Amino acid sequence: MKAVILAGGKGLRMRPYTSVLPKPLLPIGELPILEIILRRLEKAGVTDVVIAIGYLGSLIQTYLAQNPISNRMNVTYHMEDEPLGTAGAIGGIDGLDEPFFVMNGDLLSTIDLNAMMQHHLDTGACLTVGVVSTEVQIQLGVLSLDAADNITGYDEKPKMSYAASMGIYVYSPLAKSLVEPGVHLDAPSLVLRLIERGEKVSGFTAPCRWIDIGNPGEYERAQQEFAQDPDAFLA
């Protein structure tokens, strides 16, 4: 199996940490985020990994060149001269001629990757999106209005539940072929493009732990959860 890890972003919300390190090299416990992701991919049977790099990408190359995992997996790099979005980098990568994983290089998850790939194959989807149920605390009083602007309900700071993308995908070769090389494209735009074409886009929902390390608060949470049960994130 093959995988692409998106590791080219600047991680602006994680500064000052990312002023000197690319976000995928930020440590969780004693390991960089990127190495935790690679170990999970390896255990799932992935043998070939392309890492899309940009900002401070040479540091990622230097780290992995000295890491034993590079001897166990075929790790190559795709350099982005400018950020191409969460789908755009895929268009310029050759050799993706079978269903393959794509995942952001700044997340921790215990998702069952083998089950996700099997779901993709069983459903015949063009693209499969890892789905997590998340709750958002609204910090305002939410009003319900009728057509005449009369208030019919008032909910003080409610919690709203959403099905959200994990930033983990399985692409079919067809989905990959619809990403034009060198053109900026985000994953939501690709999903909508596929739906408009009548292609099947499937969601894979399964109980798991998931942390998107997008800000210092989530980084601290990732540190705490990993310290409590590191094996869960490395299995």
Which SS3 state, helix, strand or coil, does residue 54 take? coil
pLDDT of 217: 83
Cα 39 from Cα 151, distance rounded (Å):
54
pLDDT less than 70: residues of the chain: 11, 17
Cα 202 from Cα 104, distance rounded (Å):
18
Cα 107 from Cα 9, distance rounded (Å):
13
**φ and ψ at residue 109, rounded to 5 degrees:** -155, 150
Cα 233 from Cα 70, distance rounded (Å):
20
Cα 56 from Cα 12, distance rounded (Å):
13
pLDDT of 188: 94
pLDDT of 191: 96
Which is it for the CA torsion 15, 16, 21, 24, positive or negative?
negative
Whole-model pTM over 0.75: yes
Which SS3 state, helix, strand or coil, does residue 230 take? helix
Domains and CATH numbers, the chain: 2-131+165-234 (3.90.550.10)
